[in-house]
Structure 1
Amino acid sequence: MTRRCALLLWAGSGPSTAAPPGIDGAAYAAALFEDVAEVLQGLAGVDTLVGCAPGESGNVRSLLWPGVGIVEMVGPSVRAVVGIAQERGYDHAAAVAADAPDLPTLVLAKVFQALTRSPVVVAPADPEGAVAMGVTLPAPSWLPPVDLDDPQVADRLRAAA
């Protein structure tokens, strides 16, 4: 059986710059994070992990259901997600942005489905960047150092492949 994990990248307890006027930015960021975490926990056959900066695990734990794995990591990068997933023996891993409200479960399910025939998969964000990126492990040697908020993530992956 293929072992899969989705690692939600906690950007920190700071305020979201996307918060609507009059809305507390930190509360808005936490609400977005909780929404995406709930989506991930609904994926069948996928373990949910949360990656956060050292010292942030207490803040993160207060926003999650019990039993969700929390991993402290330096920098919320796709490379870090790949390393964590590989160390834990997963076959497929997906890095997921914490600021993707109303992210359809189907998008993430399709990322994992596509990993059965492609070593790297990107779910693009609008207008740029990505809401998720999946990798078959071990990661391909050509995988460049990209992050979900990189405006040219898809172009950089195509060029490297």
Structure 2
Amino acid sequence: MTDAPDRAPGAPARFAAVLSLPARPRDVPPGIDPGEFRLALLEDTYEVVAGLDLVTPALVLDPPDQPDAEAVTWPGTPIVREATLAGAFAALHALGAGSAALVAQDAPDLPPLLLGKLFRAVGSAPSAACRAEDGTLVALAARLPLPGWLAAALHDVDLDTPDALARLRAAAPRPGLVPQGPGWHRLRTLADLRRLDPGLEGWENTRALLQGHPLGR
């Protein structure tokens, strides 16, 4: 299920969608409201994808009713309401995407260059992944429509699956169909806050919320 404005002829065929999954547990810094922290991360991650050249930003909602998440997006942003990565990719393809990247909501300082590398990688492979150190995925890009083996695998694998990349590669009919781009980090624990670089531009909402709080333990 999707909500989106009509696409103008010649609109970009690349989409980058941030996943908003508020039901997932999160390690929240003491003294910070969990809802505010989630939305700060989400908005900063959305700003990363919204700033990409020739890429249409989008938002994937699960559960589907999240007015607070929708409120952080720019007017006209396509909203996808899907519970699986396979469903999200299919919905983006229905909107006209020839390739798309799905991005975890907790990567507020993700360098746009890394998403650009994923899009370049899917020029020669059906999918490409940006992996976090804990084995989960920061982002997954794919050419659309998905090949059958990948669509089937993505009904049981999401970005939070600890061995997501290994499972997707095991599902591929031959090696090399899920290349790995440069890795990055997600903010899933308090210790992950140490990865935030105060000298790095961006992540303004997260930065403001963490003002006065130590970055990690």
| TM-score (norm: length of structure 1) | 0.90
Contact 2:101-2:139 within 8 A present in 1 as well: yes
**Does residue 1:42 correspond to 2:51, yes or no?**
yes
**SS of equivalent to 2:93:** helix
Contact 1:92-1:112 within 8 A present in 2 as well: yes
Greater percentage in strand: 1
**Which of these residues, 136, 147, 151, is aligned with residue 158 of structure 2?**
147
**SS of equivalent to 2:37:** helix
Contact 1:122-1:133 within 8 A present in 2 as well: yes
Give the % identical residues. Answer: 38
Q: Deviations 1:28-61 (Å, cap 9, x if unpaired)? A: 11000011000001111110110113221x2222
CA apart distance, 1:15:
8.1
Where in structure 2 are the equivalents of 1:72-111 lying within 5 Å?
72-73=81-82, 75=83, 77-111=84-118
The root-mean-square deviation of aligned C-alpha atoms, in Å, is 1.7
CA distance in 1, matches of 2:93, 2:43: 25
Contact 2:48-2:108 within 8 A present in 1 as well: no
**Which of these residues, 2, 18, 24, is aligned with residue 33 of structure 2?**
24
Structure 1 stretches of 4+ moved >3 Å: none
Contact 2:80-2:88 within 8 A present in 1 as well: no
In structure 1, the partner of 2:42 is: 33
| Cα gap change, 1:71 to 1:41, in 2 (>3 Å) | same
In structure 2, the partner of 1:8 is: 18
Contact 1:90-1:137 within 8 A present in 2 as well: yes
In structure 1, the partner of 2:60 is: 51
In structure 1, the partner of 2:77 is: 68
Q: Quick one: which amino acid aligns to residue 158 of structure 1?
A: R
CA distance in 1, matches of 2:24, 2:144: 34
Q: Which ranges in structure 1 are unaligned for 5 or more consecutive residues?
A: none
| TM-score (norm: length of structure 2) | 0.68
Q: Quick one: which amino acid aligns to residue 141 of structure 1?
A: G
Q: From the CA coordinates, give the structure whose radius of gyration is larger.
A: 2
Tell me the number of residue pairs that the alignment of Structure 1 and Structure 2 aligns: 157
Q: Which ranges in structure 2 are unaligned for 5 or more consecutive residues?
A: 1-9, 173-217
CA apart distance, 1:116:
0.4
Q: Quick one: which amino acid aligns to residue 90 of structure 1?
A: A
CA distance in 2, matches of 1:101, 1:59: 17
| Cα gap change, 1:72 to 1:155, in 2 (>3 Å) | same
